[in-house]
Structure 1
């Protein structure tokens, strides 16, 4: 069963998504290569992706209402200026209406400064949109307290970017020179491009497969046994390395052995030589449980996760390992490097809510023993 109708704004959830949620997403994008890429939802969780695709089309939010009102105002003004010319051979169609936006209506630094002042002082009432003669959205802001405050903040950012753009272009109207690179136009382009992401994804996947085929062939020609880099080897190496170097990181594992590792053959160097690390492998697992909400829908709840990235030498030995674990909003990362014939822990740290990495041993050159003890203590603390 899918909800139909108006989506009720949730200020608490929206605020969390723009503060701590944004920081957590930035951390995951930094350490998980495929995180946040378009189309990955259909691979990781097709059921949730299908539900969201239907939900977004059967419900209407505050933002949808605002855009609809703005577009209707643009159409009505365009219809008064459009004309139809009929002859015996051709028909001139109506001119395509140009959607109004703050970036199009604010054409000088002086107007941007005035609009910003109005937005800061009376943005909740839409005074800056009235100044830009955007009457439809003005009345909407007036009766919804600036789209519950979110539209107000959005317009402040848009006007700041617009003023900066006008100053950079010497107080001239960039709409006469190029398409404005603003929050509004970027959103519109993303919406316009969302329809063909599948075609682009297929093309990118084909290009990656072709590159992997060429890299694999290059290594075979240079005497490397590419057949030894199997999924079983990657999974076994990951577990064995964690058990021998940092066993406390196994606390984050909820089924890594059941996952299928990804294996990537590295490209030659710019000079055409064999790279030091010939293979980059990754194995990732996240604990996911399906819970029933108050409306009877099954929604996923994401728990602990572990991400292991391994770089291999030409003889099949491990050169370096990076491990990242997540639990209850906290993350721990470990770096392991080859020192002669041994794999040694070289760094361990945490990533805070701001996205900044902090070492567990801030000293100049901590020993492997110091790192091991600090890591064990930190894992015990977050659990």
Structure 2
């Protein structure tokens, strides 16, 4: 019961700060004595601060305002992408305080080598956070692959990395800092839910790097599927007799709207930053690039229309690389949706680009630990 009440008080202050102790009692229904005891414990655990406020013209002593601490406990998000590594440290307010990203060609490299470099980047990010008075108490790693519900800690299949049955804990240099695992598309969707400025609670989040991932949020909760395999939108068939896909099927969406497919259709080499190159060429009016992006948008619209008809979401969100190419993808996507979503009302503006872009997964990884700590402050030791 005390653990639940600690979470209620911390969650209330996180959502509505600054608040006085009396405000917290009024919002939670707990007695003032109970709130005072809980607040003292949360202050001791470094999660809350309490400072004097101006009396505002009222007679008596100044009030005391509670807020979530911007120092002390923090969380680390990590991401292993096909062509990059990234790290983000967020404080308990959910504010990113450290960003790190390095370009790395991770596809086909030994998992142990990639994970060692990710651990080194994590250590650098944590050291930078420590200078700001933060200490990391939880870590989550985003990977572009299938992370089944059980057993946890296993990357069952990450085809674009070339990983099969990889357990990062077996390769992590420090057993005390091994991160939890989650699929990068799921974390991008959670970042959108928790950090972006919109009210949709049921939406499909589609993102891309080398592959295409998707995540479904239903009623404000991530839908993982029975075994954690939900969201493989990139392997829905656009044309059943289309080109072969590395997954073993034919005509998958990735063969029409994946990064490699768009570059190939545009006649471009995959050197440097492919997304930036596509955006640059499209902005310049390069006809092959514009045709390739329009073709990709049509294929995505066809698949997304099926998702809308099946799930009836509030909206669709383009994240990751798609967010940076949305200017050229959205017209064709919206045309397909208008043609194929006919059994329910559909607003063309309900499909939009995420403002988080390629930072979504690593931010979601950091925020996941923040949410866990707020839900159970007893994870944190008293100072």
Q: TM-score range with shorter-chain normalisation?
A: under 0.3
TM-score scaled by structure 1?
Answer: 0.20
TM-score scaled by structure 2?
Answer: 0.20
Question: Higher helix proportion, which one?
Answer: 1
Greater relative CO (CA pairs within 8 A, separation 6+): 2
Structure label with greater radius of gyration:
1
